[in-house]
Structure 1
Amino acid sequence: MITSQSSSLLRNDFEVGAFNYYDTKRNDPINLDLGHIDGLYHHHFAVGDFDHAVLDLPPAQREEAIKRELHSMETRQVRTIIEVLEPIPPTARILDGGSGRGGTALLLHKAFGCRVDGVNISHYQNTFAREQASRHGYADKIHFHDRNMAATGFPDESFDCVVTNETTMYVDPHEAFAEFGRILKPGGRYVMLSWCTNDALTIKPDEVQAIDEHYHCHTHRRITYLRAAMDAGLIPYQVDDLTQPAIPYWVLRSQSKLATGIEKPYLDGYRSDRVNYIRIAARKGTGAR
């Protein structure tokens, strides 16, 4: 349900669609079944391999073991962001754009000890994330705001780092990256993880259409991200193609009762190289605004 508070954050039909998808997604079996394992709830996927022995377990044990393995993979995925940011002093401040249920923000704080602000248009998800932060004892260091990550409302040069973990498919990269460039301090860093179209091969493969319809999102081209970063004064210093390491998560999830049917489009897209999973790390130029 769109309230007057949330409607002020939603500026177009696309954002309304994303809000309706996530703010009402309150019984998501994947997140809720996996989150009970250690209290961390994620809204992203994973990179890296899994313990293939779980697939050979008896049926009574197999499903729970797969759930635990999926959750471990999702938790480890945040290391993909942390490793390109290290080291960060505890005096730093990080923005998590599109912070979801709060798992990424909590792990960033645990890694660096610094303040983390999450922004999200879903009031429900922010309430859930605040409860997580309080339960883990981080309520004074991790703050979740009902704000739009493409128009955060924070002052200029407020943050040392900005991260987005599989959320840029819900924004116009040029608009969002310009906002990130505005709120980053000179020399500050931006790190994104996302899937994208490999526009060296095709513009919009069938797999992307299925993914966009399923998640009410818009999969961007790789070149779109790179151009948007440069236009915003965010100079990429590391671009990594993580497509192959992203495949095992979908292989394992397709073997679980949690499978939703979207597993095949991801697997087909990644295996054909028509869809890529990438990490971009960029630094704000000292002369950028």
Structure 2
Amino acid sequence: MRTFMHGAAVWDVACPRQPSQVAGLTMAGFRVRDLDALRMVPHPAVTLLLEFGPGAPVLDCAGGRQQRGSIVAGPGFGSGGAVRARGENVECVQVRLSPVIARAVLGASPADLDGAVVSLGDLWGREASRIREQLGEVPSWQGRFALTDALLARRYEVGARVDPEVAWAWHRIVRSRGMTRVDGLAAEVGWSRKRLWSRFRSQLGLPPKRAVRLVRFDHAAHRLVAGGSAAEVAAETGYADQSHLHRDVMTFTGATPATVADEPFLAVDDLAWPSRHGTTAWTSKATANGSRRRVPGSRPRTGRAG
């Protein structure tokens, strides 16, 4: 376990020594004595937060709504900067799921989350309480990661897969870092635009155009954290100009690029998610049903992954 220090934020962070059994699933462990109004910054993954410590995290959402304890949040959760996390003596395993595998793991489509957050207890019932107890009984972080991975891998094996065409379109968007022209995706998979848009939204939880914006924003936000100027980042990440970047950052976070560049939620990624620049938390090398990877630009066959 390593210590993350960023301004007033001091967190203990643990990472698994082994990759997950499931491509598109990554984890990190956090121990935070005093979590003080952390802005939740949207990213292109489904978030599963499994808490087990003496203190439960609290999410303050728009309209005064709160969520406590273990939660599930859809891709883009926190848009507008309206969600803050806080708590004392928080211990948790945070899981990031590619939207392509989220339906199988969760037993529900990310579309059911609608970019919001729900209690894990509401989704999994008593199983959520059992997981909390089991994590609390394991004495090491590597043991907790192994327990979590085994549980989620079992759920994935029996869960429903997304259409391979939908998975391919998602991977194309992610590999391009949000600089893919969405109008061409349907033609590339051999579907009508209406069919792809409908299936993409119902299975992954957001329409292709928003997926492109979210993936591009995430890449730009991390470039800002790495020290790039707004002008440089806008040019590198496909924005028309600096004003375009500013508008997108404000839409997703409710803050300026300069403020976002100093967000602990983003700055911790290099420590908590060291693989994000390789195989990221929201894509995978496999297609949705575990078959061999499709070569980008090839036309998939209906009903098959290859």
TM over 0.5: no
TM-score normalised according to structure 1 size: 0.29
RCO comparison, higher one (Cα < 8 Å, 6+): 2
